[in-house]
Amino acid sequence: MNDKKQFTISELASSLEISPSTIRFYEEKKLIKPARTSGNQRIYTRKDRARLKLILRGKRFGFSLDEIAEIIGFWDVEVNEKSQIQKSLSYTDKRIEEVRLRRNELDLLEEDMRAMRTHLLNRLKELEQEERGSIK
């Protein structure tokens, strides 16, 4: 009862917490191609929404829009050409491998931040010791 089948641009935008112009911008960049109403307004399906979510997810990992386009494909690219499919295929393979590497990096990042946290905590304790020493 909750999920609709179609969305206007502002419905979609607010549900993804981005602005309508960002969505239009992605369309200009050929990342999505929504259907239109008789009056030329954009209508988005759940599929379009999923695609947008994918784009945003890619972004959160520091991929550029061009890279994202290479990963998920420009919307209008001939997806019936064997060569194009093979190209995309090898691209996704590369990216899946990259995701594996990113996971390792993520672990390192977490380690770094935990180390920093410990360091800060120690510094704080030191300062509190100093305070005790000098005040009373």
Partner DNA sequence: CATTAAGTTAAAGTTAACTTTAACTATAGT
Partner DNA sequence: ACTATAGTTAAAGTTAACTTTAACTTAATG
Neighbours of 69 (CB within 10 A): 19
Which residue, 35 or 127, has its beta carbon nearer to its own copies?
Answer: 127
Min dist CB 89 to DNA, Å, is 23
Tokens matching residue 107: 């672990």
Cα atoms found within 13 Å of the Cα of residue 112, Cβ hemisphere only: 6
Query: Do residues 65 and 30 lie in contact, with contact meaning Cβ atoms separated by under 8 Å?
Result: no
Task: Enter the DSSP assignment of 42.
Answer: E
The residues of the shown chain that bind its own copies, judged by CB under 8 A, are 54, 57-62, 71-72, 79-80, 82, 85-86, 88-89, 92-93, 95-96, 99-100, 102-103, 105-106, 108-110, 112-114, 116-117, 120-121, 123-124, 127-128
Which stretch in 20-28, 93-101, 110-118, 121-129 sits in contact with DNA by CB under 7 A?
20-28
Query: By CB under 7 A, is residue 41 in contact with DNA?
Result: yes
3-state secondary structure of 6: strand
| The one-letter amino acid at 75 | W
CA angle 24, 42, 47 (to 5 degrees): 85
Which residue, 18 or 77, has its beta carbon nearer to DNA?
Answer: 18
**Residue among 5, 39, 82, 103 that touches DNA (CB under 7 A):** 39
Summarize as ranges the residues that interact with DNA (CB under 7 A): 8-11, 18-22, 24-25, 36-42, 59, 64-66
